[in-house]
Amino acid sequence: MNTRDLEYLVALAEELHFGRAAQRCHASQPALSGQLAKLEARLGVQLFERNRRRVRLTGIGAEVLDRARTILRLVEEMADVAQAHRDPLVGACALGMPPTIGPYLTPRLLPAVKRYLPDLRLDLIEDFTDSLEDRLAAGRLDLAILATTPARPGLLETPLYEEPFWVALPNGHALAAADDVDLADIAARELLLLSDGHCLRDQVYAACNLDGIRSDDEAGPRTQNTSLSTLLALVGAGEGVTLVPATSLAEAWTTDGGISVRRERSGTVGRSVRLVHRDGYARPALAERLADIVAGILPDTVHPQRR
């Protein structure tokens, strides 16, 4: 048994297709199938159910898969420890961000990383927060920039910045007549929200005290599986109002989307953004350096937590 066999196991368990798993592992399909058959023979158990139409992981296969992922993560961390000893600021770094942070921070972050960490290659992954935490815990991400406190055990955070929410309204909306907006004045029926899974949805929901107030019957357009850019298009079309993170204000929608942007009156509504990594991460110096870089590229609409 070797790590290559375990890589084949993980690939087939995730792809559930021999051809795609073989392509992912840069192996021939017969080679992958043969090695997995040898692995099953060595372990004395059936890891996969196979027929012409599908591949399915068995119960014992799922248990073996968990251990295979742990072994591969430890092997990767061993290589990371060696690399970190040589130079933690060199090599690849898989960085995850949710879709309400990535599009706005990335255009500022990439040029700064190229300038200050020229030997670092960032691999950017955009996904929902829960998935990013799972990847971090499993060792499939090095770092993540998140807007919620990590829920998984073994994850540590470094504060980056406090980000206010602003109010986006259609041009000509009654609330756009003032320089700022009291959230209590926004009717629940006209507030547009992201779909479930977005941490920004939960934060806006809480900020506007919508528990027990909003119902689907009184809501505006249904916004399932939408992005923030889609919500803003709806705002520009006069379909409602939404809250946006301050880092998004540099985008073109603020000037050519039929939208007025106003400050939230209390100045207390927003989110805390942090850099998250595993406890015992092999490149703490890289995490610190990236945190410093992020603090130095922020627009003046947010409040850095590092100096």
Domain range list for the chain? 3-82, 89-161+271-304, 163-264
Q: Which residue from 124, 166, 115, 119 is spatially nearest to 145, judged by alpha carbons?
A: 124
Q: What is the pLDDT of residue 215?
A: 46
Q: What is the pLDDT of residue 174?
A: 92
Q: What is the pLDDT of residue 80?
A: 72
Same fold across 89-161+271-304 and 163-264: yes
* pTM score above 0.95: no
| Assigned CATH class of 3-82 | mainly alpha
Percent of the residues in the chain that have a pLDDT greater than 70, as a whole number: 92
pLDDT tens, residue by residue, 180-213: 999 889 888 888 887 766 777 778 777 776 654 4
Q: What is the pLDDT of residue 211?
A: 54
Look at 289 and 83; give whichever has higher pLDDT: 289
Residues forming a β-bridge with 303: 162
pLDDT tens, residue by residue, 53-63: 889 999 999 99
Question: Is pLDDT of 307 > 90?
Answer: no
Look at 246 and 80; give whichever has higher pLDDT: 246
In this prediction, residues 115-128 reach a mean pLDDT of: 94
Question: Is pLDDT of 112 > 90?
Answer: yes
pLDDT band per the 50, 70, 90 thresholds, residue 214: very low
In this prediction, residues 163-175 reach a mean pLDDT of: 92
CATH number for the domain formed by residue range(s) 163-264: 3.40.190.10
pLDDT tens, residue by residue, 248-300: 887 777 777 789 999 999 888 899 999 999 998 989 999 999 999 999 999 99
Q: Tell which CATH classification among 1.10.10.10, 3.50.50.60, 3.40.630.30, 3.40.190.10 matches the domain 89-161+271-304.
A: 3.40.190.10
Q: What is the pLDDT of residue 223?
A: 52
Question: Phi then psi for 191, rounded to 5 degrees?
Answer: -80, 120
pLDDT band per the 50, 70, 90 thresholds, residue 131: very high
